């Protein structure tokens, strides 16, 4: 039914699949199965879009340009061939669907109206931030509709993983890439949802499952940049067992703070330190301060204890996330879009791994990657890195000290000049400006003293 409504609603359904906190875990899992398959549009329209985007004739760009091999809500993919320095290469050409931007942004007005009404009339939904969710949908889809940005994401992930065993992404042909067209290396391999094909090709399904999970965690923790649409239709396995990920229209990012939060939460669950898990939530500002840390730790314990003692292969990440969402609702925890996207992707990746290996042990497989990251970032080596970064930040602040003082002095002069040469203030306004000036002056002096004392302390420690 969603597919019949058109591309905008397919994209909405796929996006809501990434937000189980909004639609519920069961609905999110159902939406994750939504097939992004649409009718193909005529090849003549694809050629016109390519020529308009790149400013060159298709015949000048490609030695051959064949019909569509796949079509989705936003774009369709063609097979083509290029010749560079006499060497022919098969490529995949992704072309934006004509008119999709206009239709999507027209439908987006309805989505915003529904979100505003929900926030206004359903108070319990406000912690889920429906309007912000819709804004995120609008932003992510804008990015998906500019294929230059997808090409950049492919390039970045390619650089991050160039030395990783068993994982890669297709290379980008930048000469033949623009806003409405993306040309990339053609991938010869078996789709990961073709289990029979993988077996027939002689692949070790358990090894592929382990490689998939470890690659995803490596991208997330080490790089802070991950493919956020890793369903089996976007994953190929080459003859040598290497996983190739395509369709990087949706990508996720985690800052250092979020990565540390994730690692400490995971470590806390592993060692059953629920008090620390709760403290990390409060330190990160994810749970409002009016709540009690120990009470939150008790709720976290209710999630963690049922896990221990069970065979690892029976623990469902989806079930764990369902319990977590229920607990966070009790404590008014604001949703974090970047973490929600990560959680959704983890559920999908785990599901793919369990399809390949029903006895898949998520925790044992994750341990080498997570353990290395914790040792490098939360252990002594991590403390040294933090100290180095902190020193750099203080030195950068010190370099700004003269500018801070100059701005404070300039503000004082400007106010004096305005008062003397043309601007008249009533008594209340003059008093207010005087107080503001005094505050700025005091703030500037305090900032300079703090910087000076900090530098003295650093110098004393070094010497």
Tokens encoding 39: 């009718």
Lowest-confidence region among 209-218, 249-258, 433-442: 433-442
Q: Are 115 and 135 in contact (CB under 8 A)?
A: no
Question: Which of 205, 186, 210, 206 lies closest to 194, judged by CA?
Answer: 205
The answer for residues whose C-beta is within 8 angstroms of residue 45's C-beta and 6 or more apart is 98
Catalytically active residues are: 229
Give the CA count within 13 Å in the CB-facing half-sphere of 11. 28
Mean pLDDT (the chain) is 80
Measured over the CA atoms of residue 19, residue 23, residue 28 and residue 34, the dihedral's sign is negative
- pLDDT over threshold 70, residue 301: yes
Q: Are 261 and 184 in contact (CB under 8 A)?
A: no
The residue that leads in pLDDT, 214 or 448, is 214
pLDDT digits (tens, 9 = 90+) for 331-377: 887 667 677 778 778 888 988 998 899 888 887 888 888 888 888 88
Q: How far is residue 396 from each of residues 389, 390, 392, 400, measured CA to CA in Å?
A: 11, 10, 6, 7
Distance CA 68, CA 88 (A): 20
Burial of 83 (0-12, 13-18, 19+ CB in 10 A): exposed
Tokens encoding 40: 């193909």
Measured in whole angstroms, how far is the alpha carbon of residue 133 from the centre of its chain?
14
Phi, then psi, of 26 in degrees rounded to 5: -65, -45
- Angle among Cα 335, 339, 341 to the nearest 5 degrees reads 100
CA-based end-to-end distance of the chain: 72
Pairing of strands 235-237, 190-191: antiparallel
Q: Mean per-residue pLDDT for 27-31? A: 65
The answer for residues whose C-beta is within 8 angstroms of residue 201's C-beta and 6 or more apart is 190, 237, 239
At 219 the pLDDT is 96
The domain ranges of the chain are 2-185, 187-378, 387-462
Distance CA 193, CA 187 (A): 15
The residue that leads in pLDDT, 447 or 348, is 348
Q: Mean per-residue pLDDT for 4-25? A: 61
At 158 the pLDDT is 97
Question: Which of 315, 313, 316, 334 lies closest to 325, judged by CA?
Answer: 334
Q: How far is residue 155 from each of residues 151, 169, 170, 185, measured CA to CA in Å?
A: 6, 8, 9, 12
Q: Mean per-residue pLDDT for 303-316? A: 75
Other residues' Cβ atoms within 10 Å of the Cβ of residue 342? 22
Distance CA 168, CA 162 (A): 7
pLDDT digits (tens, 9 = 90+) for 87-137: 999 999 999 999 888 888 877 777 788 888 888 888 877 766 778 777 877
Reported as a pLDDT band with limits 50, 70 and 90, residue 462 is very low
**Which residues pair with residue 84 across a beta bridge?**
87
pLDDT digits (tens, 9 = 90+) for 156-180: 999 999 999 999 999 999 999 999 9
- Please name the residue that has the structure tokens 């994401």: 153
Reported as a pLDDT band with limits 50, 70 and 90, residue 200 is very high
Question: Which of 208, 178, 179, 207 lies closest to 193, judged by CA?
Answer: 208
- pLDDT over threshold 80, residue 434: no
Alpha-carbon Rg for the chain, nearest whole angstrom, is 27
pTM: 0.73
Three-state secondary structure string covering the chain = CHHHHCHHHHHHHHHHCCCHHHHCHHHHHHHHCCCCCCCCCCHHHHHHHHHHHHCCCHHHHCCEEEEEEEECCCEEEEEEEEEECCEEEEEEEEEECCCHHHHHHHHHHHHHHHHHHHHHHCHHHHHHCHHHHHHHHHHHHHHHCCHHHHHHHHHHHHHHCCCCCCEECCCECHHHCECCEEEEECCCCEECCCHHHHHHCCCCHHHHHHHHHHHHHHHHHHHCEEECCCCHHHEEECCCCCEEECCCCCEEECCHHHHHHHHHHHHHHHHCCHHHHHHHHHHCCCCCCCCCHHHHHHHHHHHHCCCCCCCHHHCCHHHHHHHHHHHHHHCCCCCCHHHHHHHHHHHHHHHHHHHHCCCCCHHHHHHHHHHHHHHHHCCHHHHHHHHHHHHHHHHHHHHCHHHHHHHHHHHHHHHHHHHHCCCCCCHHHHHHHHHHHHHHHHHHHHHHHHHHHHHHHHHHHHC
pLDDT digits (tens, 9 = 90+) for 228-245: 988 888 999 999 999 999
């Amino acid at each position: 039914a969603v597919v019949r409504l058109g591309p905008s609603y397919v994209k909405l359904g796929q996006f809501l699949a990434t937000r189980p906190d909004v639609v519920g875990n069961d609905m999110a899992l159902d939406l994750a199965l939504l097939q992004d398959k649409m009718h193909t549009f005529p090849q003549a329209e694809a050629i016109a879009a390519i020529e308009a985007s790149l400013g060159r004739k298709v015949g000048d760009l490609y030695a051959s340009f064949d019909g569509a091999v796949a079509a989705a809500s936003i774009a369709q993919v063609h097979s083509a061939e290029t010749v560079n320095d006499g060497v022919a290469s098969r490529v995949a050409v992704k072309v934006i669907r004509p008119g999709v931007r206009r239709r999507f942004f027209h439908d987006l007005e309805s989505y915003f109206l529904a979100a505003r009404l929900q926030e206004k009339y359903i108070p319990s939904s406000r912690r889920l931030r429906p309007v912000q969710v819709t804004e995120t949908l609008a932003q992510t889809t804008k990015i998906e509709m500019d294929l230059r940005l997808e090409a950049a994401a492919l390039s970045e992930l390619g650089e991050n993983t160039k030395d990783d065993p068993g994982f890669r992404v297709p290379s980008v042909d930048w000469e033949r890439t623009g806003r409405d067209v993306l040309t990339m290396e053609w991938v010869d391999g078996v789709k990961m949802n073709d289990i029979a094909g993988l077996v027939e090709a002689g692949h070790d399904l358990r090894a592929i499952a382990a490689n998939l999970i470890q690659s995803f965690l490596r991208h997330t923790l080490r790089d802070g940049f991950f493919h956020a649409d890793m369903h089996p239709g976007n994953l190929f396995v080459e003859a040598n067992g290497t996983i190739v990920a395509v369709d990087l229209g949706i990508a996720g990012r985690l800052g250092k703070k979020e990565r540390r939060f994730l690692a400490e939460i995971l470590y806390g669950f592993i060692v059953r330190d629920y008090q620390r898990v709760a403290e990390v939530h409060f330190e990160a500002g994810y749970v409002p301060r009016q709540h009690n840390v120990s009470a939150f730790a008790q709720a976290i314990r209710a999630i963690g204890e049922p896990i221990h003692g069970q065979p690892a292969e029976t623990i469902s990440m989806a079930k764990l996330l369902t319990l977590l969402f229920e607990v966070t609702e009790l404590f008014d925890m604001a949703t974090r879009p970047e973490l929600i996207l990560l959680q959704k992707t983890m559920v999908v990746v785990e599901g793919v791994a369990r399809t390949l290996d029903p006895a898949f042990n998520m925790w044992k497989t994750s341990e080498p990657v997570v353990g290395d990251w914790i040792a490098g970032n939360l252990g002594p080596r991590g403390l040294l890195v933090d100290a180095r970064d902190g020193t750099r930040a203080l030195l950068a602040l010190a370099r700004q000290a003269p500018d801070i003082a100059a701005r404070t002095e300039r503000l004082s002069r400007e106010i004096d000049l305005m008062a003397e040469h043309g601007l008249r203030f009533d008594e209340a306004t003059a008093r207010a400006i005087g107080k503001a000036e005094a505050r700025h002056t005091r703030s500037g002096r305090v900032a300079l003293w703090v910087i000076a004392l900090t530098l003295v302390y650093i110098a004393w420690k070094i010497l």
